[in-house]
Amino acid sequence: MQRNDNITEKATKTALLLGAINLFTAPAYNVNTSLGLLISIVANAFSIFKFHEIGKERRAGSNALITIHSTASSYVSSLFSFFNPKNKTSPSLEKEANKQEMDNAGRNVINGGAAVADKITDYINVMTSRR
Q: Which sign, positive or negative, has the C-alpha torsion 35, 36, 39, 44? A: negative
Instruction: Flag whether 25 is in a domain.
Output: yes
Question: Is residue 36 classed exposed, middle or buried when 0-12, 13-18 and 19+ CB atoms within 10 A define those classes?
Answer: middle
Residue that wins the pLDDT comparison between 99 and 50: 50
Instruction: Flag whether 2 is in a domain.
Output: no
pLDDT in tens, 112-126: 999 999 999 999 999
Q: Mean pLDDT across the chain, nearest whole number?
A: 81
The pTM for the full model equals: 0.73
Range of the domain at 27: 7-129
Residue that wins the pLDDT comparison between 77 and 125: 125
Instruction: Flag whether 119 is in a domain.
Output: yes
Instruction: Flag whether 54 is in a domain.
Output: yes
Label residues 69-105 b or e (16+ Cβ within 10 Å = b): ebeebeeebeeeeeeeeeeeebeebeeebeeeeeebb
Instruction: Flag whether 1 is in a domain.
Output: no
By the 8 A CB rule, do 18 and 44 touch?
A: yes
- How far is CA 58 from each of CA 7, 17, 89, rounded to the nearest angstrom? 14, 18, 34
Averaged pLDDT for residues 69-80: 58
Q: What's the number of domains the chain is made of?
A: 1
Lowest mean pLDDT, pick from 13-27, 34-48, 56-70, 74-88: 74-88
Instruction: Flag whether 44 is in a domain.
Output: yes
pLDDT in tens, 1-28: 456 668 899 999 999 999 999 999 999 9
